[in-house]
Amino acid sequence: MMYMVIVGGGKVGSNLAKILTAHKHQVAVIEADPDHCKKVAQSTSALVIQGDGTEIKYLEDANTGAADILVAVTGSDEDNLVACQLAKAAFGVKKVIARVNNPLNDPVFQSLKIDVIFDSTLILAKLIHEGLGIQDLINLTPIAKGKLRVLETTICNRQIEDKPLIDLGLIKKGILVVSVVRDDEVFIPHGATKLKAGDQITVVLSPEAEPELMEILTTCKTD
């Protein structure tokens, strides 16, 4: 179990908090908007702090010095960069992850040694460039030096709905389903879990296994 601080409680931050708390991680969310704070508090077990995640005071309130990871996912690249720098310099956080809203800012984040950069614009551009549909894979971030990937995809294939997860043979193919979002509920699946069309799943897999995942889970078959 890890302790993670999330700066930014909008859509990205709140969904991340849901997944992490569902996995039994301890999470603190720092968010300036009171309405967003209320939504995060109602939908997760995370500690919610209303304030500016670029200020030392609120990072202290979140006990950032004890965090294993800080993730900055606000809509401001400047705020995300400052939060990550403060986490490392002032609190000694070993790993920081930043959302980059403007791809032109990527070199700045890289030059300042941000450990992981999540560029949603480039991911969207990749989807469009490769001609992928809305049911296709979204690459969240590489891990294990690129040997594994964390991906999100939406289930489209109705032929798998009555089959337990263990019967799909995903583990043998090097594909691990780590979370499922269904009707705004987040849960961790087990071998007997039956996926449904429309489920949004997060998986860990090797790059070589992506085509098989696409074929098994997202091929749009209705009969």
Four-residue CA torsion sign, 39, 43, 48, 52: negative
The alpha carbon torsion through 158, 160, 161, 163 (nearest 10 deg) reads 160
Entry pTM:
0.59
pLDDT at 134 over 50: no
173-189 pLDDT, tens digit per residue, is 888 888 888 887 888 88
What is the average pLDDT score of the chain?
81
Please choose, from the candidates 154, 77, 69, the residue with its C-alpha nearest in 3D space to the C-alpha of residue 118: 77
Q: How many Cα atoms within 13 Å fall on the side-chain side of residue 94?
A: 5
- For residues 109 and 81, what is the distance between their CA atoms, to the nearest angstrom? 7
Model confidence at 130, pLDDT cuts 50, 70, 90, reads very low
Higher pLDDT, 157 or 34: 34
CA distances from 196 to 13, 48, 117, 124, 164 (A): 25, 32, 31, 25, 11
Q: What domains, with CATH codes, occur in the chain?
A: 3-124 (3.40.50.720), 132-218 (3.30.70.1450)
